[in-house]
Amino acid sequence: MIGRLNHVAIAVPDLDAACAQYRDALGASVGAPQDEPDHGVTVVFVDLPNTKIEFLYPLGENSPIAGFLEKNPAGGIHHICYEVEDILAARDRLTESGARVLGSGEPKIGAHGKPVLFLHPKDFGGTLIELEQS
Protein backbone atom coordinates (compact mmCIF):
# COMPACT_ATOMS: atom_id res chain seq x y z
CA MET A 1 0.00 0.00 0.00
CA ILE A 2 2.65 2.56 0.91
CA GLY A 3 4.75 3.95 -1.91
CA ARG A 4 7.74 6.25 -2.00
CA LEU A 5 9.37 7.82 1.02
CA ASN A 6 8.22 11.38 0.44
CA HIS A 7 10.31 13.01 3.16
CA VAL A 8 12.03 12.72 6.51
CA ALA A 9 11.13 15.61 8.83
CA ILE A 10 13.68 17.07 11.23
CA ALA A 11 12.67 19.54 13.94
CA VAL A 12 15.32 22.23 14.22
CA PRO A 13 15.91 24.88 16.91
CA ASP A 14 17.46 27.33 14.40
CA LEU A 15 15.94 27.27 10.93
CA ASP A 16 18.45 29.63 9.33
CA ALA A 17 21.38 27.62 10.68
CA ALA A 18 19.90 24.35 9.43
CA CYS A 19 19.28 25.82 5.96
CA ALA A 20 22.78 27.27 5.77
CA GLN A 21 24.35 23.98 6.86
CA TYR A 22 22.47 21.90 4.29
CA ARG A 23 23.08 24.48 1.54
CA ASP A 24 26.71 25.34 2.27
CA ALA A 25 28.26 22.32 4.01
CA LEU A 26 26.17 19.53 2.46
CA GLY A 27 25.66 21.23 -0.90
CA ALA A 28 21.92 20.53 -1.02
CA SER A 29 19.15 22.40 -2.80
CA VAL A 30 17.28 24.21 -0.01
CA GLY A 31 13.85 25.78 -0.62
CA ALA A 32 12.25 28.89 0.86
CA PRO A 33 10.52 28.86 4.28
CA GLN A 34 6.74 28.32 4.15
CA ASP A 35 4.45 29.13 7.09
CA GLU A 36 1.83 26.45 7.77
CA PRO A 37 -0.47 28.05 10.37
CA ASP A 38 -2.88 25.07 10.37
CA HIS A 39 -0.02 22.83 11.51
CA GLY A 40 1.78 25.35 13.78
CA VAL A 41 5.02 25.11 11.86
CA THR A 42 7.28 26.85 9.42
CA VAL A 43 8.69 24.33 6.96
CA VAL A 44 11.62 24.27 4.57
CA PHE A 45 12.09 21.48 2.06
CA VAL A 46 15.50 20.24 1.02
CA ASP A 47 15.37 18.43 -2.32
CA LEU A 48 17.49 15.31 -2.62
CA PRO A 49 17.67 13.10 -5.72
CA ASN A 50 15.51 10.35 -4.19
CA THR A 51 13.50 12.07 -1.45
CA LYS A 52 13.22 15.28 0.57
CA ILE A 53 14.13 16.52 4.01
CA GLU A 54 11.55 18.71 5.74
CA PHE A 55 12.79 21.12 8.40
CA LEU A 56 10.17 21.94 11.02
CA TYR A 57 10.30 25.06 13.13
CA PRO A 58 7.61 26.20 15.61
CA LEU A 59 5.04 28.76 14.44
CA GLY A 60 2.54 30.39 16.79
CA GLU A 61 1.50 29.68 20.36
CA ASN A 62 0.49 26.03 20.34
CA SER A 63 3.00 24.55 17.94
CA PRO A 64 3.28 20.77 18.22
CA ILE A 65 7.00 21.22 17.55
CA ALA A 66 7.65 23.39 20.63
CA GLY A 67 7.32 20.48 23.09
CA PHE A 68 9.43 18.24 20.88
CA LEU A 69 12.23 20.83 20.88
CA GLU A 70 11.97 21.22 24.66
CA LYS A 71 12.68 17.50 24.98
CA ASN A 72 15.22 17.54 22.14
CA PRO A 73 16.95 20.94 22.34
CA ALA A 74 19.42 20.11 19.57
CA GLY A 75 16.55 19.05 17.29
CA GLY A 76 15.86 15.57 15.97
CA ILE A 77 13.97 13.40 13.53
CA HIS A 78 10.28 14.14 14.06
CA HIS A 79 8.47 11.99 11.48
CA ILE A 80 8.76 10.17 8.19
CA CYS A 81 6.28 10.53 5.37
CA TYR A 82 5.14 7.77 3.03
CA GLU A 83 3.08 8.30 -0.08
CA VAL A 84 -0.23 6.49 -0.56
CA GLU A 85 -2.48 6.54 -3.60
CA ASP A 86 -5.76 6.83 -1.69
CA ILE A 87 -5.52 8.33 1.78
CA LEU A 88 -9.06 7.42 2.88
CA ALA A 89 -8.61 3.80 1.82
CA ALA A 90 -5.26 3.77 3.65
CA ARG A 91 -6.86 5.21 6.80
CA ASP A 92 -9.65 2.65 6.77
CA ARG A 93 -7.27 -0.25 6.26
CA LEU A 94 -5.02 0.98 9.08
CA THR A 95 -7.81 1.60 11.57
CA GLU A 96 -9.20 -1.88 10.81
CA SER A 97 -5.75 -3.25 11.65
CA GLY A 98 -5.90 -1.48 15.02
CA ALA A 99 -3.57 1.45 14.25
CA ARG A 100 -4.50 4.84 15.64
CA VAL A 101 -4.84 7.92 13.45
CA LEU A 102 -4.06 11.18 15.26
CA GLY A 103 -6.52 14.06 15.54
CA SER A 104 -10.01 13.88 14.10
CA GLY A 105 -9.10 11.10 11.68
CA GLU A 106 -9.95 13.36 8.75
CA PRO A 107 -7.08 14.29 6.41
CA LYS A 108 -5.70 17.83 6.56
CA ILE A 109 -4.00 19.62 3.72
CA GLY A 110 -0.24 19.30 4.19
CA ALA A 111 2.77 21.31 3.10
CA HIS A 112 2.52 20.13 -0.52
CA GLY A 113 -1.17 21.03 -0.85
CA LYS A 114 -2.16 17.35 -0.63
CA PRO A 115 -4.17 15.50 2.04
CA VAL A 116 -2.14 14.10 4.94
CA LEU A 117 -2.76 12.04 8.08
CA PHE A 118 -0.53 11.15 11.02
CA LEU A 119 -0.35 7.73 12.69
CA HIS A 120 0.37 7.14 16.37
CA PRO A 121 4.09 6.53 16.96
CA LYS A 122 3.39 3.84 19.57
CA ASP A 123 1.78 1.74 16.84
CA PHE A 124 4.77 2.03 14.47
CA GLY A 125 8.03 1.29 16.23
CA GLY A 126 8.15 4.58 18.09
CA THR A 127 8.07 6.57 14.86
CA LEU A 128 5.51 9.21 13.98
CA ILE A 129 4.32 8.44 10.45
CA GLU A 130 2.74 10.88 8.04
CA LEU A 131 0.80 9.57 5.05
CA GLU A 132 0.48 11.85 2.06
CA GLN A 133 -1.78 11.20 -0.89
CA SER A 134 0.41 11.14 -3.98
Query: What contacts 106, CB < 8 A, 6 or more positions away?
Result: none
**Interface stretch with Co ion, choices 9-17, 25-33, 59-67, 82-90 (CB under 5 A):** 9-17
Give whichever of 98 and 112 is closer to Co ion, judged by the CB atom.
Answer: 112
Q: Is 84 in the site for Co ion (CB under 5 A)?
A: no
| Catalytic hit among 54, 83, 130, 132 | 130
Give whichever of 94 and 110 is closer to Co ion, judged by the CB atom.
Answer: 110
If we measure between CA atoms, which residue out of 69, 124, 84, 78 comes closest to residue 101?
124
Q: Is 130 in the site for Co ion (CB under 5 A)?
A: yes
Q: Is 9 in the site for Co ion (CB under 5 A)?
A: yes
Which of helix, strand or coil describes residue 18? helix
If we measure between CA atoms, which residue out of 60, 73, 82 comes closest to residue 13?
73
User: Is 130 an annotated catalytic residue?
Assistant: yes
Give whichever of 11 and 81 is closer to Co ion, judged by the CB atom.
Answer: 81
In the region spanning residues 89 to 118, those forming contacts with Co ion, defined by CB under 5 A, are none
Q: What is d(CA 13, CA 58) in angstroms, rounded to the nearest whole number?
A: 9
CA angle at residue 19 from 16 to 25, to 5 degrees? 125
Question: In the bound complex, what is the minimum distance in angstroms from residue 88's beta carbon to Co ion?
Answer: 19
Looking only at the bridges linking them, the beta strands covering 34-36 and 29-30 are unpaired
Select the residue interacting with Co ion from 18, 19, 46, 81 (CB under 5 A). Answer: 81
Interface positions with Co ion (CB under 5 A): 9, 54, 81, 130
Hey, which residues are catalytic here? 130
